[in-house]
Amino acid sequence: MEDYFLLDQSLQPEERLIRDSVHEFVSEVVIPVMPDAFEKAEFPRFLIPKLAELGLLGLTLPTEYGGSGANCVSYGLVCQELERGDSSLRSFVSVQSSLCMFPIFSLGTEAQKKKFLSKMAEGKCIGCFGLTEPDSGSDPVSMKTNAMKVEGGWLLNGNKFWITNASMADLAIVWAKTKEGIRGFIVEKEFKGFQQNEIHKKLSLRASMTGELIFTDCFVPDENFLPGSEKGLSSALSCLNQARYGIAWGAMGAAMGCYETALSYCKERQQFNKPVAAFQLIQKDLVDMCCEIIKAQCLNLQLGRLKDNNQSNFAMVSFAKMNACREALKIARQARNLLGANGISLEYPVIRHMVNLESVFTYEGTDNIHHLILGKHITGLDAFV
């Protein structure tokens, strides 16, 4: 996509190198396999060691824990490129890095970091994040999953739903109610009373292994308790903020894929003896799509710089996630329309991106929730209660 405002000049050489490496990987390896993966509803697991080899799992974590020590802007650029391939791939990396490795790094003990993080960075240990429940989505305080303290550990009971990576995870970062409040636990797949089920018949994020986690008197030893989670629900929300930041970039990657496909198609498609791109209304749509992508990229880049300088806050992240998902979905729908009947064919990436974005628009905080977060920030009045 043309760099109209020369944003590349704002990137550091290392940031460009990371972005370009992932761009090549996505173009040559990911995009060719995603139509079949989407149609078969299978995650292409052979990509996991390749993601690890590129250093994309735990990208921003220190090298001593298996990370690459990259900055937040680099992570955003990676998410943008991965979702240009498919939302399921960016979701996998986002969950592994932001929702599993990050809480172990920021909330865990040194022993937990040494036990899990390097293996996760190598793609040899896959994680999932258990917060959402069948009756508890936007209101996590209403969760029913609970943990009771017993000798040597905790007994976990309840279930989590719509969990990315659930069916193939080696561990789950699980949030549960205790007498002291909501706390976090590392639940390993070998633990007795822990069951993982896959959710089928999805029409969005089909290549993502989404599932359910069930806990029936599941014993979690004390060494798997996340001590930093004693801050309560805010600990879980801090993880979500990491993921939401990546989604803001990722959604624009899907939008870029749709825009580039529509632009190429409209320049080649002939109707009434000329390319359809020569028609005024088609050009208007293409220009609108291009403008929203560039605006979001500028916003995302500024947010990344603020994060790298420890100047960002949760409201900024909500702003970026809300804006990117809303505009990306609009762009995907415009592109689908511009391709006509071909817009629903998996020979083109547009319909795949469009239906995936329906989920991206909703998860990690719905559009309405982000509006209310920003509404409270702007007015000082809490509309949640």
pLDDT score at 385: 72
pLDDT score at 98: 96
291 pLDDT band, cuts 50/70/90, is very high
List, for residues 254-266, the tens digit of each pLDDT value: 999 999 999 999 9
pLDDT score at 380: 95
Delineate the domains of the chain, giving CATH numbers in brackets. 7-121 (1.10.540.10), 127-232 (2.40.110.10), 234-379 (1.20.140.10)
Per the prediction, the chain carries an average pLDDT of: 97
CA distances from 132 to 129, 158, 230 (A): 9, 11, 19
CA distance 230 to 291: 44
136 bridge partner residues: 133
CA distance 277 to 156: 58
List, for residues 206-256, the tens digit of each pLDDT value: 999 999 999 999 999 999 999 999 999 999 999 999 999 999 999 999 999
Phi, psi of 164 (to 5 degrees): -65, 135
Range from 147-156, 227-236, 284-293, 299-308 carrying the lowest mean pLDDT: 227-236
Geometric angle at alpha carbon 46, from 42 and 47, rounded to 5°: 95
In the predicted structure, residue 74 carries a pLDDT above the cut 80: yes
Contact 182/233 with Cβ under 8 angstroms?
yes
In the predicted structure, residue 300 carries a pLDDT above the cut 90: yes
Phi-psi sector, 184: left (phi>0), alpha (psi -120 to 50), beta: beta
pLDDT score at 158: 98
Pairing mode of beta strands 127-130, 171-178: parallel
175 bridge partner residues: 184
pLDDT score at 384: 81
- Token look-up 């995650």 returns 43
Virtual torsion, Cα 199, 103, 367, 304, nearest 10 deg: -130
- Where in the sequence numbering do the catalytic residues fall? 364
